[in-house]
């Protein structure tokens, strides 16, 4: 095992897959100088400008070129700089890449990965801070991934690059410096498989991306109150690991879904509704979900913080949900 950070794990994944498969290449703005966050640093020296390709400042051009290249036999990695900027290329991704396999009767695949740095990050403000995962989980034909640790960023990105369908790959900007242990050899994390981060008996916390770490801190504090929380990091939002979530909720009887994205129509609503529908007979309390209010993300740090799902908010929700446990 080696200790590297989240950003370095993504760089390693790209390097290893480009070394393994000559059809893998990357395109986007400023990749030649390492990318806006440095996540492609050094790759142009190893693979050259034909495989680490700088593009014009046009997201629609970048995405459209990648879709065509994927259809004709290569595996492009599309860098969108910020998830917000990908909205300029939404037609190419949603109406072309996501639907090609269906519209060509299975004869056409679009094996591409769209990397979209997401989430709140040191006063990036309304146009650079959004978490838009639910937009993509809504679209048939797309795989949606949101890693929370360096090891998962390595293993999931490698699996995404090898996948034969388009993958929207959401990396939280706040996690770039996060360090963690990563296997030295080949490391793949299967798409669609959640991780049980912490086992517990009283409450299930389902989460993904940076909110995983907030849930871990909350669970540690809840333990001091006598509440034993189980944490599940979905890792892949579509397909999501229903079996693992269901098994946990059947054990605990309580569920909170927590995510940074706006709560209204967020992907947490899908999990909450599915569990309430399928496991209503096993629930000891109504399903709860925590997300941001339906407001733009402010530049001012105090206002930005007001939109966050914090450790304290998770503790309060969990305590209310588990009142019979705490009373006993």
Residues 166 and 33 in one domain: yes
Whether residues 178 and 201 fall in one domain: no
Strand partners, 52: 26
CATH number of the domain that residue 223 is part of: 3.40.50.920
Q: What is the CATH number of the domain that holds 126?
A: 3.40.50.970
- Looking at the fold, whether 248 and 140 belong to one and the same domain comes out as no
Check whether residue 149 and residue 88 sit in a common domain.
Answer: yes
169 and 22 in one domain?
A: yes
- Cβ proximity of 196 and 246 under 8 Å: no
Q: How far apart are CA 161 and CA 26, in angstroms?
A: 11
Which residue, 160, 182, 204, sits at the end of a domain?
Answer: 182
Structural domain of 317: 195-327
Is 17:162 a contact under the CB 8 Å cutoff? yes
pTM for the predicted model, two decimal places = 0.95
Q: Is residue 166 part of a domain?
A: yes
Do 306 and 207 lie in a common domain?
Answer: yes
Residue 137, phi then psi, degrees to nearest 5: -65, -20
187, part of any domain: no
Query: Same domain, yes or no, for 23 and 96?
Result: yes
Look up 259 and say whether it is catalytic: no
Q: Do 170 and 226 lie in a common domain?
A: no
Shared domain check, 305 and 267: yes
Q: Any bridge partners for residue 201, and if so which?
A: none
DSSP 88: G
The answer to whether residue 269 is domain-embedded is yes
Encode the chain (328 residues) as per-residue pLDDT tens digits. 999 999 999 999 999 999 999 999 999 999 999 999 999 999 999 999 999 999 999 999 999 999 999 999 999 999 999 999 999 999 999 999 999 999 999 999 999 999 999 999 888 888 888 999 999 999 999 999 999 999 999 999 999 999 999 999 999 999 999 999 999 999 999 999 999 999 999 999 999 999 999 999 999 999 999 999 999 999 999 999 999 999 999 999 999 999 999 999 999 999 999 999 999 999 999 999 999 999 999 999 999 999 999 999 999 999 999 986 555 4
Find the angle CA(263)-CA(264)-CA(269) to the nearest 5 degrees: 70
Same domain, 308 and 200: yes
């Amino acid at each position: 095992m080696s200790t590297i950070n989240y950003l370095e794990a993504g760089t390693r994944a790209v390097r290893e897959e480009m070394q393994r498969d000559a059809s893998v290449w990357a395109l986007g703005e400023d990749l030649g100088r390492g990318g806006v966050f440095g996540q492609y640093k050094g790759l142009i020296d190893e693979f050259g400008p034909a495989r680490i390709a700088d593009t014009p400042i046009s997201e629609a051009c970048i995405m459209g070129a990648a879709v065509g290249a994927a259809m004709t036999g290569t595996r492009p990695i599309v860098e969108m700089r910020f998830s917000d900027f990908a909205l300029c290329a939404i037609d190419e991704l949603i109406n072309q890449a996501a639907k090609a396999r269906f519209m060509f009767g299975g004869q056409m695949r679009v094996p591409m990965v769209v990397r979209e740095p997401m989430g709140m990050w040191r006063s990036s403000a309304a146009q650079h801070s959004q978490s838009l995962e639910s937009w993509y989980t809504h679209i048939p034909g797309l795989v949606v991934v949101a890693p929370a640790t360096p090891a998962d960023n390595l293993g999931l990105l490698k699996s995404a690059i090898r996948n034969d369908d388009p993958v929207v790959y959401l990396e939280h900007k706040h996690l770039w410096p996060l360090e963690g242990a990563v296997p030295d050899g080949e490391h793949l994390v299967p798409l669609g498989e959640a991780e049980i981060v912490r086992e517990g008996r009283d409450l299930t916390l389902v989460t993904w991306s940076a909110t995983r770490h907030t849930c871990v801190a909350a669970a540690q504090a809840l333990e001091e109150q006598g509440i034993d929380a189980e944490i599940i990091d979905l890792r892949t939002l579509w397909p999501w690991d229903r079996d693992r979530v269901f098994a946990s909720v059947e054990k605990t009887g309580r569920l909170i879904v927590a995510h940074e994205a706006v709560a209204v129509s967020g992907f947490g609503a899908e999990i909450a509704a599915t569990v309430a529908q399928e496991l209503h007979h096993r629930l000891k309390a109504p399903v709860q979900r925590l997300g941001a209010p339906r407001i733009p993300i402010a530049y001012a740090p105090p206002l930005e913080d007001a939109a966050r799902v914090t450790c304290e908010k998770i503790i309060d929700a969990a305590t209310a949900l588990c009142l019979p446990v705490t009373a006993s």
